[in-house]
Structure 1
Amino acid sequence: MKRTLFFLIASTFAWAVSQAQTPKRLMHFMQQTPSPAHAIPYGDNPKAGHYVKAGDTKIYYEVYGKGEPVVVLHGGIVGSTYEMHQFIDSLSKSHQVIAVSTRGHGKSEMGSQTPTYERKAEDVNAVISAVTKDSVTVLGFSDGAYTGYFLAASHPEKVKKLVAIGAGEWKQGFRTFDNIRKSLFGMDSLYFKQQLALMPEPHRFDEWLVALSKYYSSVSIGKEPLSAIQCPVLVMAGELDQNAPLETVIAAYEMIPHAQLSIIPGAPHPVFLASFPALWASMTPFLKQ
C-alpha cells in the first residue's frame, strides 16, 4: 500500500510538471517547488567547476568552502549534483566540499567502460587526488553510497569516514532494471531535458541506460566489499526506503566492521529531500567525532 501510494503521488506530480514551462534554474528529479533565485547551480557552476581525467573519461566536479575535505556523491540514473544542494550548503560553511558528478551524469563523460562501482570508485579517487593530499570524509546517497563503499574498501588511505545513505545489501536480481528514455521522461521530462543539455555526450544517453540496466541487474554487493571497510561508517536510510528496504540496510550495517546505524522514521528513499533537518541532526555528531 505504501509503495502504491508513493507511485500515485509521483505520477500525479510528473503530470503536473509536464504541463509547466521548462525551468531556467537547475532542478532535481521530481522537484515540487521552483529553485530559489539565489540557489547556487550545483553541477553547472563555472565559478567552481573543474575536470579531471579518470581512466577512459573526464569527470566533472566542483569545490566549495574551506576546511577538512568532504566528498559528496549523488544518486544514480535520476541523480544529480544539484539534488545534494542542502548538504553542500551546510557542509561548505566549515569544510571543503568536493561535489562530484559521477560518470554519465551532468557534465561528466560516460566513458567506454561498464559503469561499475569499482570504476566509479576509481573516478572519485582521481578527483580526490587532484584536489587534496589529505584523506577525506565521503558522503554518498544511493548510487553514491555504493560507490563510497567500494572506494573505502579499495582505498582505505583515502577515506577516513563514510556516510552512506540509502544503500543496503544488494542481492543479484532483487530488483528489475529496465531503464529506457520513454519511462524516465514519463516521470519527469523537464528534469531529463535539463540533464541532457548538460551532458557532453547526449547522443549516448540510450546506450548509457542500457549499460546501467545490465550492470545493476547483474551486480551483487554483500560481504565484499562491505566487510573490507575499515573506516567508521554511518549507515543511514529512511524507514520506508523503497529502493533499499530496511532489512537490507540493517544487513549492510551488520557486515561493516565499524558501523553506526541511523533510520529516519517515516522517510522514503530520498530521505534528505523529505526530512533534511532530521537527517542532518542525526549525522552531525558522527561528522564531529
Structure 2
Amino acid sequence: MKNSIIKKYWIVLITGCLLLADPVCFAQFKVAPKPNTLKSSGYAPVNGLKMYYEIHGQGKPLVLLHGSYMTIDLNYNAIIPALAKSHQVIALEMQGHGRTADINRPFGYAAFADDVAGLLKHLKIDSADILGYSLGGTVALQLAIRHPKVVNKLVIISSVYKHEGWIKAARDLFSTMKPEFLDATPLKTEYDRVAPDKAHWRTFVEKNIVFDNQSFDLGIENIKAIKSPALLISGDNDGVDFYHLTEMYQAFGGGIFGDMTGLPRSQLAILPAMTHVTLMMQTDKLAAIIIPFLDGTPSKVSIH
C-alpha cells in the first residue's frame, strides 16, 4: 500500500500538476478565490484556438503560463494579487486547458509557444516578461527561442529544457500514468467547472499522457543564445535534476565568481524543503523573489 501511494504521488508530480497525493500536503491544498484585480477577460482567436485570457492590474506586462492540466485559478490565483500591484498580469489557458477548448492538434511546445506569441499580437503587446511553471516554464523557454523579440525577462519555476532534465525516478514513471488516476482530483473538479466540453476530459488527459511520454530537447545552444535574463526557481526536492538546473543557469550566464566579475543578469533560487507541488504554494516567498527580479530592485526574501 505504501509503495502504491508513493508511486501515485510521483506520477502526478512529474506531470506538473498541483494534485497533492501526500495526505499532509493535500490537507493544505486550497484553491484561492478569484482575485479582485481582474480588469478584463476574453477569448482570442489564435492559431485555430479560442484562447481564454485574463488581464489583472496595470503596469509592465507579465504573462503567466500554467502547468500541465492546470487552469489560471488553480495555478495562479494566490499570487496574482501580489504581481498585479505593479504589473499588468496577463494570465492565459493553453490548448485544451481550462476554458480554452481543445482542437485537433497534438500538444507541443512549439505550438504552445506560437499560441502565446499570437495572443500577445492579438492584445497589441510588443513584448512582456514571461513567467512559467513546470509545463509553462518549458513553453516560456521555447517562446524565447522562437520569438525572442516578445520576451523581456524570464521566470522559470520548477521546469526543464529537455526531457532528461527530470530526475530518472520521475522519468521512469511517465509510462505508468493512467487517465483514471486523475478522475477523483481537484484537477477534474476544476475541469468540470470551467471547460467548454466536460465530456472531453478523458481525451484531454490521454493527449497529455502522450505528450508527457515524448522525449524532447530544446537544445542547450538555443538556451545559451537566449538574450533575456532569467530567474530560475526550484525546490530542493521538486524532481528537477540538479545537474540540469546548474547547466541551465550557466547557460544564462550564472555560476560565476561574482566577487571578482560582478553579478550576472540572471538569478537562481532554490527553496528548501520544497517539492514540485508545495513550491507553488509559497506565495509570499515567490513574490519576494520574483518582483525584485522583474523590477531590478534588491530582493528582501527570507527563506526561513
TM-score class normalised by the smaller sequence: 0.7 to 0.9
Q: 1:281 to 1:177 in 2, by over 3 A?
A: farther
Aligned to 1:23: none
Q: 1:12 aligns with which of 14, 23, 29?
A: 23
Amino acid in the other structure paired with 2:101: E
Task: Indicate the SS of the match to 1:278.
Answer: helix
> CA shift at 1:133, angstroms?
2.9
> CA shift at 1:95, angstroms?
1.1
Task: Indicate the SS of the match to 2:119.
Answer: helix
Query: C-alpha distance in 1, partners of 2:250/2:156?
Result: 14
Q: 1:234 to 1:127 in 2, by over 3 A?
A: same
Task: Indicate the SS of the match to 1:227.
Answer: helix
Contact residue 264 and residue 271 of structure 1 kept, 8 A:
no
Contact residue 91 and residue 97 of structure 1 kept, 8 A:
yes
Contact residue 191 and residue 201 of structure 2 kept, 8 A:
no
Aligned to 2:282: 275
Q: Does 1:144 align with 2:136?
A: yes
Of stretches 158-167 and 247-256 in structure 1, the one that deviates more from structure 2 is 247-256
Aligned to 2:243: 247
User: Deviation string for 1:25-73 (max 9, x for gaps)?
Assistant: xxxxx5735556xx3169xx8x732111121221100011111100011
Aligned to 1:285: 292
Query: C-alpha distance in 2, partners of 1:177/1:110?
Result: 23
Q: 1:239 to 1:199 in 2, by over 3 A?
A: same
Q: 1:160 to 1:251 in 2, by over 3 A?
A: same
Aligned to 2:179: 181
Task: Indicate the SS of the match to 1:218.
Answer: coil
User: Deviation string for 1:226-263 (max 9, x for gaps)?
Assistant: 23321111111111103x23333222222335642111
Q: Flag structure 2 segments of 5+ consecutive residues without an equivalent.
A: 11-19, 254-264, 297-304
> CA shift at 1:178, angstroms?
4.7
Q: 1:6 to 1:138 in 2, by over 3 A?
A: same
Identity %: 26
Map 1:89-168; keep pairs closer than 5 Å: 89-168=81-160
Q: Does 1:69 align with 2:69?
A: no
- RMSD of aligned C-alpha atoms? 2.9
TM-score, normalized by length of structure 2?
0.77
Aligned to 2:71: 80
Query: C-alpha distance in 2, partners of 1:234/1:6?
Result: 30
Amino acid in the other structure paired with 1:81: I
Amino acid in the other structure paired with 2:21: A
Q: How many pairs align?
A: 264
Q: 1:206 to 1:4 in 2, by over 3 A?
A: closer
Query: C-alpha distance in 2, partners of 1:152/1:220?
Result: 16
TM-score, normalized by length of structure 1?
0.80
Q: 1:225 to 1:212 in 2, by over 3 A?
A: farther
User: Deviation string for 1:187-209 (max 9, x for gaps)?
Assistant: x2x44133123111333322232
Aligned to 2:234: 237
Q: 1:273 to 1:211 in 2, by over 3 A?
A: closer
Q: Flag structure 1 segments of 5+ consecutive residues without an equivalent.
A: 15-29
> CA shift at 1:182, angstroms?
1.1
Q: Does 1:227 align with 2:224?
A: yes
Query: C-alpha distance in 2, partners of 1:7/1:51?
Result: 34
